[in-house]
């Protein structure tokens, strides 16, 4: 990536089950505050979920919320928050040179279930089917709603990458900036998954849906008694720019995207492949020009399923097992699995480590599963490390998609020119 433009993150907008901005979210991660609550959905009944409580009317009119989708509202909220955080004036930009790249696990299930429910009240008379159904269910809906809200005329689309999609949105934004297609980009992911009963039923049928008497302890990656996934909604969108552009306007810089990789297991519909996961990490490190020992934090994908966590732990050990000083953590233990938003939310929660030097822990590990024991795993209490210079963010998904993104801390030199820490 050294021959390409350097890409940096300059703004973060998010909606999570335990915080509606980066400050709230980070505080929750450092104080052990879970966002998992009791939840009930039609046909399925009572369960647990990560539910967001952001105000959609902060940036949308009521009619736009009614006409659009939950995923669209999350994306609009996150995009506006990211713009405000980045301190940019979109009105002063050429909006045909702004791109929107939103990762999603799936889109359209919620609206289709809603419409079927409504027409069932009328003996399935399709005259009662909403004329808003088609624009609500197209895959590019969340990105499209952002363009409508912010009057962006550049390229905008969604990337379907299962639960790796949040990383894919970030990668796509960086690539489009490096190719010169856009000059400013939004990248990340969103999820409205808790509003479809089908996902809960599906995970239950797989034996992969979490249950626990205490909702806050239901999502417990690496714990010996973990029993499945807690489904969550949420989103995180980053603003990305070329380093030289960010420097020219004196932007706050969260970090530089220095490496990434995406590969496929080609081995099973749902069961992960440790070898391919390890290959993905090694490829991201190679592209970043880094050794495993130079990574400060490995944020794991671990979803709290028995087999998935073991497979990922095996992959992490294979890449980082011999290196002291690499810390490993997990964010789903607080917020559950936000599907297409997972990777973006999990990266966002770790970015403040560049400033405060603190590594948030994996919570709810009462008894570590020996098969999930990895060197450097931070459990239950935050770790003050002094400095953190790089984060490797992992996200994997069904049908064997794997992704890894590496972000480095950027600090000013004596001459005021940004340099990447450790590089």
- CA distance linking residue 16 with residue 54, whole number of Å: 8
pLDDT of residue 419 exceeding 60: no
The DSSP output letter for 169 is: H
pLDDT of residue 423 exceeding 50: no
pLDDT of residue 410 exceeding 80: yes
Other Cβ atoms closer than 10 A to 233: 27
Residue 3 has a pLDDT of 73
pLDDT of residue 414 exceeding 90: no
Residues catalogued as catalytic: 163, 301, 337
Let me know: does 19 contact 28? Beta carbons within 8 Å. Answer: yes
pLDDT of residue 296 exceeding 70: yes
- CA distance linking residue 279 with residue 412, whole number of Å: 33
pLDDT of residue 228 exceeding 70: yes
Residue 420 has a pLDDT of 66
pLDDT tens per residue, range 366-379: 999 999 999 999 99
Residue 411 has a pLDDT of 78
pLDDT range class, residue 1, cuts 50, 70, 90: very low
pLDDT tens per residue, range 85-132: 999 999 999 999 999 999 999 889 999 999 999 999 999 999 999 999
Task: Tell me the longest C-alpha to C-alpha distance in the chain.
Answer: 73
- CA distance linking residue 236 with residue 231, whole number of Å: 16
Other Cβ atoms closer than 10 A to 110: 23
Write the burial class of residue 29 (CB in 10 Å: 0-12 exposed, 13-18 middle, 19+ buried): buried
Q: Which domains does the chain have, with CATH numbers?
A: 7-248 (3.40.47.10), 258-420 (3.40.47.10)
Residue 415 has a pLDDT of 42
- CA distance linking residue 339 with residue 76, whole number of Å: 18
Residue 50: name the closest of 71, 34, 68, 62 by CA: 34
Q: What percent of the chain has pLDDT over 70?
A: 97
pLDDT of residue 418 exceeding 90: no
Instruction: List the end-to-end C-alpha distance of the chain, in Å, as a whole number.
Output: 13
- In this prediction, residues 70-79 reach a mean pLDDT of 98
Residue 421 has a pLDDT of 67
- CA distance linking residue 351 with residue 23, whole number of Å: 11
pLDDT tens per residue, range 334-376: 999 999 999 999 999 999 999 999 999 999 999 999 999 999 9
pLDDT of residue 169 exceeding 80: yes
- In this prediction, residues 227-255 reach a mean pLDDT of 97
Residue 4 has a pLDDT of 86
Average pLDDT, the chain: 95
Let me know: does 78 contact 13? Beta carbons within 8 Å. Answer: yes
Residue 48 has a pLDDT of 98
Bridge partners (DSSP) listed for residue 39:
47
Segments of 243-389 assigned E as strands: 255-264, 297-300, 327-330, 358-359, 383-384
Let me know: does 311 contact 274? Beta carbons within 8 Å. Answer: yes
pLDDT of residue 417 exceeding 80: no
pLDDT tens per residue, range 12-31: 999 999 999 999 999 999 99
- In this prediction, residues 128-149 reach a mean pLDDT of 96
pLDDT of residue 390 exceeding 80: yes
Q: What percent of the chain has pLDDT over 90?
A: 94
């Amino acid at each position: 990536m050294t021959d390409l433009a350097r890409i940096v993150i300059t703004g973060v907008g998010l909606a999570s089950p335990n915080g509606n901005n980066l400050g709230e979210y980070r505080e929750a991660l450092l104080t052990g505050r879970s966002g998992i609550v009791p939840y009930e959905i039609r046909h399925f009944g009572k369960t647990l979920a990560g539910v967001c409580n952001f105000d959609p009317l902060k940036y949308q009119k009521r009619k736009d919320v009614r006409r659009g989708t939950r995923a669209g509202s999350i994306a609009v909220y996150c995009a506006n928050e990211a713009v405000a955080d980045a301190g940019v004036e979109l009105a002063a930009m050429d909006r045909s040179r702004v791109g929107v790249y939103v990762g999603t696990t799936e889109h359209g299930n919620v609206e289709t279930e809603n419409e079927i429910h409504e027409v069932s009240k009328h003996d399935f008379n399709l005259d009662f089917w909403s004329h808003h159904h088609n624009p609500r269910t197209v895959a590019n809906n969340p990105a499209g709603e952002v363009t409508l809200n912010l009057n962006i005329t550049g390229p905008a689309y969604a990337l379907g990458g299962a639960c790796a999609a949040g990383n894919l949105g970030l990668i796509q934004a960086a690539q489009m900036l490096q190719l010169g297609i856009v000059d400013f980009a939004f990248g990340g992911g969103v999820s409205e998954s808790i509003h479809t009963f089908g996902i809960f039923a599906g995970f239950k049928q797989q034996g992969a849906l979490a249950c626990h008497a205490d909702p806050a302890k239901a999502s417990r990656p690496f714990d010996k008694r973990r029993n499945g996934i807690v489904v969550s909604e949420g989103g995180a969108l980053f603003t990305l720019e070329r380093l030289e552009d960010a420097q020219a306007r004196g932007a706050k810089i969260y970090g530089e995207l220095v490496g990434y990789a995406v590969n496929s297991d080609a081995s099973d519909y749902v069961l992960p492949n440790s070898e391919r996961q390890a290959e993905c990490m090694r490829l991201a490190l190679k592209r970043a020009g880094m050794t495993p020992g130079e990574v400060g934090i490995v944020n794991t994908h671990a979803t709290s399923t028995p087999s998935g966590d073991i497979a990922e732990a095996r992959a992490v050990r294979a890449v980082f097992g011999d290196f002291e000083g690499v810390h490993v953590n997990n964010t789903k233990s607080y917020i559950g699995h936000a599907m297409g938003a997972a990777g973006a939310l999990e990266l966002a929660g770790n970015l403040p480590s560049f400033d405060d030097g603190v590594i948030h822990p994996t919570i709810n590990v009462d008894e570590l599963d020996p098969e999930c024991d990895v060197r450097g795993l931070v459990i239950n209490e935050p770790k003050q490390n002094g400095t953190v210079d790089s984060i490797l963010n992992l996200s994997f998904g069904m049908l064997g998609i794997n992704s890894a993104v590496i972000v480095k801390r950027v600090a000013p030199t004596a001459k005021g020119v940004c340099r990447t820490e450790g590089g």
